[in-house]
Structure 1
Amino acid sequence: MLLIVFALILGIVAGLRAMTAPAAVSWAAKLGLLQVSGTPLAFMGYHYTAYILTVLAIGELMNDKLPATPSRKVPPQFIARVVSGGLVGATIGAAAGSLVIGLLAGAVGAVLGTLGGSAVRGKLAATFGKDLPAALIEDVVAVGVAAITVSRF
């Protein structure tokens, strides 16, 4: 049942940064911290999956700072985060034998992370008078929480 809590937490991370959580979970699966072989989400533990998702996560971290980047709350961005959280949650759930429950926990976490992250970042940006420091703090939180959570598997 603890893995479902991890699915919720990493879903929240997906709400902050859509690709950070899948990259972290893929590395956990690749390194054997999360047993997904023999499940429908075994591909998350494949050698190249972790590398590809890491490149995408780094790209997202850079793209997030660009002025033309749309709000995370517009439908395409919001949906991508919920799908990402669902994937992460389903992967964790599959390892625990509860794929559907994990998927739901991850998707709910992504909604919470998307809306909550947007609100907190907006307040931080107002406090700093610009968005970049708030965005960098959000990056540190997303990467840090993801790393700490997968290290507990």
Structure 2
Amino acid sequence: MVIAFAFLIGVITGLRALMGLTMVSWGAGLGWIPLGDTPLHWLGLPITRYILSFLALGELVNDKLPKTPSRKVPPQFIIRIVMGGFSGAAIGLAKGSWIVGLIAGAVGAVVGTLGGAEFRGRLAKAIGKDLPIALLEDAIAIIGGFLIVSHLQ
């Protein structure tokens, strides 16, 4: 199960770079992801949740701007892999296997980055507009992330 949840939070991170870690932080803060006795206990602190939420909201806005680079360019791609791996490692650490979580989260981030870009590109081309698909992708990332962390209890 750890592999599946870590992979899925990585996929969410591939869609929106900060969403996976933000959801993990909220999950830890709400007691769904037991990180209290681990080196990552700080993820569950209120200040961490609020800062990550603010940054994730900024990312949602920034994603819609015309000058925002593709998620597939090296800096953005690397950040998503690192963040996906870290988010997966946190889930893995809570369940006793942080290395498995790290790897699964990083692989999920690659899948989410490439798959999300393809999904958004094809649907935007089909309807002739990017914004509705970008908003759909936001909803998938937020709802998907919530469902993943809420089922870790």
SS of the aligned residue for 1:97 comes to: coil
> Which residue number in structure 1 is paired with residue 40 of structure 2?
41
Match of 1:140 in 2: 139
Name the structure 2 match of 1:118.
117
Q: In structure 2, what is the equivalent of residue 62 of structure 1? A: 61
Q: Secondary structure at the match of 2:10?
A: helix
Gap runs ≥5 in structure 2? none
In the alignment, which residue of structure 1 is the partner of 2:93? 94
Question: Which residue pairs with 1:13 in the alignment?
Answer: 12
What is the Cα deviation at residue 3 of structure 1?
2.7
Unaligned runs of 5+ in 1: none
Amino acid at match of 2:81: V
**AA of the residue aligned to 2:38:** T
Identity of aligned residues (%): 55
Tell me the distance in 1 between the aligned counterparts of 2:40 and 2:85: 12
Q: How many residues align?
A: 152
Provide the TM-score with structure 2 as the length reference.
Answer: 0.96
Residue identity matched to 1:54: S
Task: State which drifts further: 104-113 or 143-152.
Answer: 143-152
* TM-aligned CA deviation for residue 94 of structure 1: 0.4
Task: Quote the offset at 1:31 in angstroms.
Answer: 1.0
Displacement of 1:41 after TM fit?
A: 1.6
After TM superposition, the structure 1 stretch with the greater mean CA deviation from structure 2, 37-46 or 129-138, is 37-46
Instruction: Render the CA deviation track for 1:13-48: whole Å, top value 9, x for unaligned.
Output: 000001111111100101111101222222211221
TM-score, normalised relative to structure 1: 0.96
User: In the aligned structure 2, how far is the partner of 1:21 from the partner of 1:28?
Assistant: 10
Q: Distance in 2 between matches of 1:42 and 1:104?
A: 20
After superposition, the C-alpha distances for 1:76-120 in whole angstroms (9 at most, x for unaligned) are: 100111111011101000001111110000000000000000001
Partners of 2:112 and 2:145 lie apart in 1 by 13
